[in-house]
Amino acid sequence: MHGIAKGTSKRLKVVALGAALAASSLLVLDACLSDSATTPPTADAAADVIVIPASDAGADVAPDVKKGFDAGGNEAISKVLINEISGGDEWVELVNSGDAGESLVGFKLADRDKTTGEPKLSEAVTFPASTDLAPGAYLLVRGGGVGDAGRPCPDGGQAYCFNAVFGISNKNGETLFLLQPDGGVVGKVVYPPDASAGSMSYARIPNADPNGAFKTVAETPGAPNVE
C-alpha cells in the first residue's frame, strides 16, 4: 500500500505541474491577444492603406495641364465676347455684343499657361490706346508670331487686327482668356482638341450671344457667325 501511495503522489505532482504550465501558457496567450487588440501589428495596420506613388498621384491632371487643355466651362462677363476661334489658321475673333462702344485699352487676350493653368500673361496681347470697339464691330488676333514673324489677318471686315506670340493648338485644344486692365478675367472660351480644321472654325451660335453655344461651322472672320 505504501508503494501505491508513493506512486500516486508522484502522479499528482506531475498533474499539478502540467496544470501550472497550462495556466502559464494561457496567461501568455491572453497577454498577446490583449496587445494585438490595442496595438495592431504594423504589417496588418498598413494592409488596408493604399499609398499612391508620386508618379501616379497626378496621372489624371498632369496630361491635361501639359497639353494646355482645360475641360472647364466658358465665361462671358464683358459685353466684348470671344466669338470665334480658328484652330487651323490660328486666329481669335472678338465682338462687341452691346449697344454702346466699348474701350479695350489695356485689355489682354491670353492663352493658358501649361504649367499653372492660369492666363499666360508673358505672351498676352495687350490692346493699345484708341482700341475702341463700336457696337457689333469685330477684332481679330492672329497667333503664331509678332513683328516680322507675324502673319496678316484674314480680311473679313474687322475693325482691328493684332498679332500674338502664342498659337492655338488644334491637336491638343486651347483655352483663351480675355482680361480687363486690372487682370480680372471677363471672358474665357475652352477650345476642345480637333474642334476645327481647314475652312471650319469653332464659333458662338447665335452670333454674339453671351449665352450662345460654340459649334463647328464654316469660318467667318470679322463677320457674323452662321450655322
Question: pTM above 0.85?
Answer: no
| pLDDT in the model for residue 70 | 64
DSSP helix, strand, coil percent of the chain (3-state; round to 5): 25, 25, 50
Closest CA to 85 of 141, 153, 20: 141
Instruction: Name 213's bridge partners.
Output: 205
Cα 16–chain centre separation: 75
The C-alpha atoms of residue 91 and residue 29 are separated, in whole angstroms, by 78
The C-alpha atoms of residue 128 and residue 79 are separated, in whole angstroms, by 19
Give the cell for residue 152: 496678316
Q: With 50 as the cut, is the pLDDT of residue 198 above it?
A: yes
- State which amino acid sits at residue 206: P
The C-alpha atoms of residue 95 and residue 225 are separated, in whole angstroms, by 11
Higher-scoring residue by pLDDT: 26, 158? 158
| pLDDT in the model for residue 53 | 35
**What is the percentage of the chain residues whose pLDDT exceeds 70?**
69
What residue segments make up the domains of the chain, in order of their start?
Answer: 2-45, 72-218
CATH code assigned to 72-218 = 2.60.40.1260
